[in-house]
Amino acid sequence: MPEPTTEPTTEPITGPTQEPVPPSGPLPEGRRRYAVVGTGHRASMYVDALIGTHAPDGEIVAWVEPNPVRAAAYEARVAAAFGGVRPVYGPDDLEKAIAEQSVDRVIVTSIDRTHGDLVTRALRAGADVVVEKPIAAHPDQARQIVDAVAETGRDLVTTFNYRYSPRNSALREVIASGEIGRVLSVHFDWALDTVHGADYFRRWHREKVNNGGLLVHKSSHHFDLVNWWIDGVPQRVFATGGRRFYGDDGAHESGYEPTAGERALNERGIDPWQLSVEDNEWLSTLYGPEAQAVDGYVRNRSVFDAGITTEDTLGLVVEYEGGALLTYSLTAHAPWEGYRVVVNGTRGRAELEVTERGSVEFGDKAAILDPSATEVFEEDLVRPIGERLVVQRHWERAEERPIVRGGGGHGGGDALLLADVFRPSSEPDPLARAAGYVDGVRASSVGYAGNRSLETGAPVPVKDLNLGI
């Protein structure tokens, strides 16, 4: 099987493929004591880090999770590495978990709508917090967090792994060097394909109340990148778009005819829009019948169901303090996955083009989930997987800039992020990649304002959200 040249930039849908190896020899005393809150798919990055490379930095002492089946799956991984037993607490007992297990720091990887409550309570119960993006699904929940940080003075980190991708860091370096001058505008187009994009419509993400819609859940990654790339503060947002493709009244109901390939699969009882949960041991453990029997969480609902409220086709204009302008689009139903960014400055222009998956094709299974699991990308001459950063200054020829990749997820970016979270260096990072809660709120603020603009049809000043930052 060929090595992919890039990693998908979001959840590794296939789950952990190998057991992390605990370090040999005695572990240092006084490691930070961690509770993991929400033991779904995303928790694996943190849990595996604390079993493997970052075992010397911290240990997991408690799980906080309403579904004991999912918590047990993670407990088994940690027990296999270190032995012992870590208790599982329900969400209502978060404070008890922190007190009883002397937790220093909580990692929040629960569903987005719970972040505001859990982060706030963990801070007030005396723990520091690492929270997955988005910091909160809705502006009132973000404000609760801002107030709790101010009140407790505790540390809160929002993890934005995209900053650590070497290609995104390379663009930041180009802009920070000043070679394209002061940034005047950014154009950013993000395409999610019919495997990954569709995944936001198979489970809880499809109800906007759970995650603030893709403008908050997904695009907050992208808005954070722009804020960080240009060192900018978003000021006013106009958004348009909606749900045009998924749902019972989306594209399928407006003249869509299944292709020959879709028909052939349908005849064999396979829905190409579905995820083969049962074919993956880890996904089956987390979301299979045993877990589902506890809480009714269905991982694999039809993307053409009624009642979906999350938008799939979005366009935004964002004005930044100082006058820079962002035009942004998100498509959650594209035939390939990747993004294009153009940054126009007073001295020239930088362009980053990334293809994460050149096409989605289906064979005798439902849609292939993991881009590394098929050879089709190697053969795709028109849209090969890859990344290209081109800089062109006025009156000069274009130059392609090298992107230095490391090993592991996101071109080595995941390892760098985890190092920043678990073992921060005392040396300042010239790229300033570590994100605090203000960055987390600022990234989501564009999505919150965008949502309000979708409702009102008018541009929304970010200050009107009263986020307290």
Ligand X SMILES: NC(=O)c1ccc[n+]([C@@H]2O[C@H](COP(=O)([O-])OP(=O)(O)OC[C@H]3O[C@@H](n4cnc5c(N)ncnc54)[C@H](O)[C@@H]3O)[C@@H](O)[C@H]2O)c1
Binding site for ligand X (CB under 6 A): 10-11, 37-42, 64-67, 70, 91, 109-112, 114, 118, 132-133, 161, 217
Instruction: With both helix axes pointing from N to C terminus, report the angle between 219-230 and 166-177 in degrees, rounded to the nearest 10.
Output: 30
Minimum CB separation of residue 352 from ligand X in Å reads 18
Query: Quick one: 68 or 406, whose CB is closer to ligand X?
Result: 68
Q: For residue 200, count other CB atoms closer than 10 A to its CB.
A: 23
Question: Which residue has its beta carbon closest to ligand X?
Answer: 40
Minimum CB separation of residue 98 from ligand X in Å reads 13
Minimum CB separation of residue 37 from ligand X in Å reads 5
Give which of 105, 130, 131 is closest to 31, Cα–Cα.
105
Query: Quick one: 112 or 193, whose CB is closer to ligand X?
Result: 112
Minimum CB separation of residue 111 from ligand X in Å reads 5
Query: Quick one: 107 or 350, whose CB is closer to ligand X?
Result: 107
Q: How far apart are CA 393 and CA 60, in angstroms?
A: 50
Query: Quick one: 78 or 180, whose CB is closer to ligand X?
Result: 78
Minimum CB separation of residue 398 from ligand X in Å reads 31
Q: How far apart are CA 149 and CA 467, in angstroms?
A: 13
Query: Quick one: 125 or 251, whose CB is closer to ligand X?
Result: 125
Minimum CB separation of residue 370 from ligand X in Å reads 14
- Cβ contacts of 168 within 8 Å, gap of 6 or more: 162, 225, 229, 352, 413
Q: How far apart are CA 396 and CA 87, in angstroms?
A: 62
SS3 content of the chain, % helix, strand, coil (to 5): 40, 20, 40
- Cβ contacts of 203 within 8 Å, gap of 6 or more: 297, 298, 299, 300, 301
Query: Quick one: 68 or 468, whose CB is closer to ligand X?
Result: 68
Length of the chain: 469
